[in-house]
Amino acid sequence: MAVELDVFVGNTTIMDEEVYQLWLDGYTVNDAVKVRMEGGVMDECEASADVLLSDTMDQYRTFQMCERLLHSPAKLANQLLFQIPPHRQTVLIERYYAFDDAFVREVLGKKLSKGTKKDLDDISAKTSVTLKSCRRQFDNFKRVFKVVEELKGPLVENIRQHFLLSDKLARDYAAIVFFANNRFETGKRKLQYLTFQDFAFCAGQLINNWTVGAVDNMVEDMDVDLDKEFLQELKELKILITDKDLLDQHKSLVCTALRGKTKAFNEMEANFKNLSRGLVNIAAKLTNTKDVRDFFIDLVEKFIEPCRSDRWTAADMKLYLTHYTNSAHILDTFKHQVVWDRYMGVIKSCIFKMYHD
């Protein structure tokens, strides 16, 4: 004796947000029922386990039927099959495209290829995000990547319009696409302390300042590729460390400004040349794709780690970088002010964001 068929269809599609989350999280129907039972829904309406099972199955089926539409969210608004109130649609889409920080941290900067997809079970084991959920998130990344790849115009805006996402989520996706495109290395042990949000912030900075789109906003891939000309120009900054006079002058200007303002002054003075070399060398090497990939690891190794071992506070860091950037303007033989500002603006905000435990 068994229920062979059991369906419930409402004119307005009924969706329980809790069950939706369980479905997104990749729970099986039975596990979801268990979670719901523990959550205490049963007491709410004198329900039994059977009722809960039947409800969960129904909802899962509905979500599966909706999934196809969620792949191109614009369709959800003008499809006829499900009558879903607009604010519900927004929630459905937003939740479907939401991701786990733990998961995204693992795939950030990796090529969104079949190869990576095969490794998802390892990632699933490591992050304890279910494989099903990993697949959904990975496919979302890939889908967004594919769609915006061929579009002109600002990246964030494109994502927001095509996938009807909130501004915040669209920015996160832009970061993911940007990282995947430039294949930034994020997986090294030294970078483990950085969260996805740290990277997303840096990506935002890079997109806004270093890409082609920062100067011209009608080119294809404008927000995805770094501005090649700019990268070339960055080589010119080398003068700051190769020219001995300039280096000394720069150091003395910075030291004058910093003296007495921080406890870490001695360390700053001692390390100035090293740190400056580090930053300028990163800039000079960015024409190499390989070095672009290592951008973040370089920042950590060449700048953040030395500072951290000298126990700079975040305020010290801020102070130092501000004066370091500004002092360069006073150097009369240094002619590359514009490039310098474009470079240091991003470096400064990235380092501020990345300088934590």
Partner 1 sequence: MPGKLKAKIVAGRHLPVMDRASDLTDAFVEVKFGNTTFKTDVCPKSLNPQWNSEWFKFEVDDEDLQDEPLQITVLDHDTYSANDAIGKVYIDIDPLLCTEAASVISGWFPIYDTIHGIRGEINVLVKVELFNDLNRFRQSSCGVKFFCTTSIPRCYRAAMVHGFVEELVVNEDPEYQWIDRIRTPRASNEARQRLISLMSGELQRKIGLKVLEMGGNAVVGYLQCFDLEGESGLVVRAIGTACTLDKLSSGSAPNTNTHVHPNTAPASNACNSPSKDGKEPVFGEDLPSSSGPPTPFRALPTSSSSPPPFSPSKPCSRQSSSSDTDLSLTPKTGMGSGGSAGKEAGPLKTLLRQQTQTALEQREFPFFTLTSFPPGFLVHVGGVVSARSVKLLDRIHNPDEPETRDAWWEEIRQEIKSHAKALGCHAVIGYSESTSICEEVCILSASGTAAILNPRYMREGCLDIGSTDHRFEEPSPPSCGFCHIPYDELNMPFPAQLTYCYHCRRQKVPDVLFTTIDLPPEAAVTGKGCLIQARLCRLKKKAQGEVNATAISNLLPFMEYELHTQLMNKLKLRNMNALFGLHIQISVGENMLLGLASATGVYLTALPAPGGIQIAGKTPGDLSNEHHILTIQKRINDAIAKNKELYQINPPKLFALDPEVFCGINMELTEEGVGSPIPEPRQRSRLFRSHSESSDELSELDLSHGKKDAFVLEIDDTDAVEDIHSLLTDAHPPTGFYSCNTEIMPGIYNWTSGIQMFTSVRVFRLSNANLTNQGLNKIFTDLCENLLKSFYFKLRSMIPCCLCHLNFTVAVPEEELIQVTVTAVAMTFDKDQTQEKPADKPITKGSSETEEQLQFPLELCADTSSANTQPSSKISGVPESTNVSSRDRCSTWLELLRLKAHTIRRGSVKTISSLERCSPLPEGRSRSLRSSRSFGGSSVTVVKMTPLSFLPGIRIIKYLGIINMFFIRETTSLREEGGVSGFLHSFIAEVFAMVRAHVAALGGNAVVSYSMKECVLMENPNKNQAQCLINVSGDAVICVRETDQETTASMTNIGQTCSSGTDGAT
* CB closer to partner 1, 72 vs 127: 72
* CB closer to partner 1, 43 vs 332: 43
How many Cβ atoms sit within 10 Å of the Cβ of residue 329?
12
Q: Which of residues 45-74 bind partner 1 (CB under 8 A)?
A: 45-48, 50-52, 54-55, 57-58, 61-62, 64-65
Work out which of 39, 49, 67, 75 binds partner 1, going by CB under 8 A: 75
Report d(CA 254, CA 342) in Å as an integer: 20
* CB closer to partner 1, 36 vs 105: 36
Q: Measured from the CB of residue 17, what is the shortest distance to partner 1 in angstroms?
A: 10
Q: Measured from the CB of residue 2, what is the shortest distance to partner 1 in angstroms?
A: 6
How many Cβ atoms sit within 10 Å of the Cβ of residue 312?
22
Report d(CA 164, CA 86) in Å as an integer: 12
1 lies in the binding site for partner 1 (CB under 8 A): yes
82 lies in the binding site for partner 1 (CB under 8 A): yes
5 lies in the binding site for partner 1 (CB under 8 A): yes
CA–chain centroid gap for 251, Å, is 35
How many Cβ atoms sit within 10 Å of the Cβ of residue 163?
24
Name the token pair of 88: 């519900």
Q: Measured from the CB of residue 204, what is the shortest distance to partner 1 in angstroms?
A: 28
* CB closer to partner 1, 65 vs 218: 65
Q: Measured from the CB of residue 273, what is the shortest distance to partner 1 in angstroms?
A: 59
Work out which of 30, 39, 67, 83 binds partner 1, going by CB under 8 A: 83
Report d(CA 292, CA 185) in Å as an integer: 9
How many Cβ atoms sit within 10 Å of the Cβ of residue 171?
20
Burial class (CB in 10 A: 0-12, 13-18, 19+), 333: exposed
8 lies in the binding site for partner 1 (CB under 8 A): yes
* CB closer to partner 1, 85 vs 313: 85
* CB closer to partner 1, 162 vs 183: 162
For 262, residues 6+ apart whose C-beta sits below 8 A from its C-beta are 268, 315, 316, 319, 320
Q: Which among 312, 316, 291, 310 has a CA at the least distance from the CA of 226?
A: 291
Q: Measured from the CB of residue 76, what is the shortest distance to partner 1 in angstroms?
A: 10
Q: Which of residues 9-38 bind partner 1 (CB under 8 A)?
A: 9-14
Task: State the DSSP string of 244-288.
Answer: HHHHHHHHHHHHHHHTTT-TTHHHHHHHHHHHHHHHHHHHHHTTS
Report d(CA 327, CA 254) in Å as an integer: 6
* CB closer to partner 1, 48 vs 333: 48
How many Cβ atoms sit within 10 Å of the Cβ of residue 198?
19
Q: Measured from the CB of residue 5, what is the shortest distance to partner 1 in angstroms?
A: 4
6 lies in the binding site for partner 1 (CB under 8 A): yes
3-state secondary structure of 12: strand
* CB closer to partner 1, 65 vs 270: 65
Q: Measured from the CB of residue 157, what is the shortest distance to partner 1 in angstroms?
A: 18
Q: Measured from the CB of residue 170, what is the shortest distance to partner 1 in angstroms?
A: 19
Site of tokens 């304890």: 128
# binding residues, partner 1 (CB under 8 A): 41
Q: Measured from the CB of residue 153, what is the shortest distance to partner 1 in angstroms?
A: 20
260 lies in the binding site for partner 1 (CB under 8 A): no
For 333, half-sphere exposure in the C-beta direction (CA atoms, 13 angstrom radius) is 13
CA–chain centroid gap for 55, Å, is 36
Residues that bind partner 1 (CB under 8 A): 1-14, 44-48, 50-52, 54-55, 57-58, 61-62, 64-65, 75, 77-83, 85-87
